[in-house]
Amino acid sequence: MESAQLKQFVIDKIEDLKAKDITVLDVSEQSNIADFMVVCSGNSKTHVRSIAENLVVESKRANLNIKGVEGRDTSEWVLVDLGDVILHVMQQQTRDYYQLEKLWSEKPE
């Protein structure tokens, strides 16, 4: 699956579980490990975990290679690495604290 198709697959699957404030970052110029980062929020630890787990289940069903999943234990921030697309599901206060969108949108000097 191409990067753009994979990105849309991720968005569709997280929308299925009502992820909030979905942001897509094109990091292809800044990173050699991924083309896109998708950042979204969940209402609670359970919601964050459910959004990430749904993507994992649907990815396996679609025979996609999951490179890793981190953060399931605390569910403040769960990362699902699908290679060209990395999903970050965060509780709102964690997202506000780390400000990934700001970090990855800044241009290097």
Summarize pLDDT for 44-87 with one digit per residue, the tens. Answer: 999 999 999 999 999 999 999 999 999 999 999 999 999 999 99
Torsion of CA 36, 71, 94, 25, to 10 degrees: 0
pLDDT digits (tens, 9 = 90+) for 14-25: 999 999 999 999
Mean pLDDT, range 21-43, rounded to an integer: 94
Contact in structure between 48 and 90 (CB atoms under 8 Å): yes
Alpha helices in the chain (DSSP H): 3-16, 45-61, 92-98, 100-105
**What domains, with CATH codes, occur in the chain?**
3-104 (3.30.460.10)
Q: For residue 106, what pLDDT band results from cuts at 50, 70 and 90? A: low
> What's the CA gap between 107 and 55, in Å, rounded?
30
Contact in structure between 57 and 13 (CB atoms under 8 Å): no
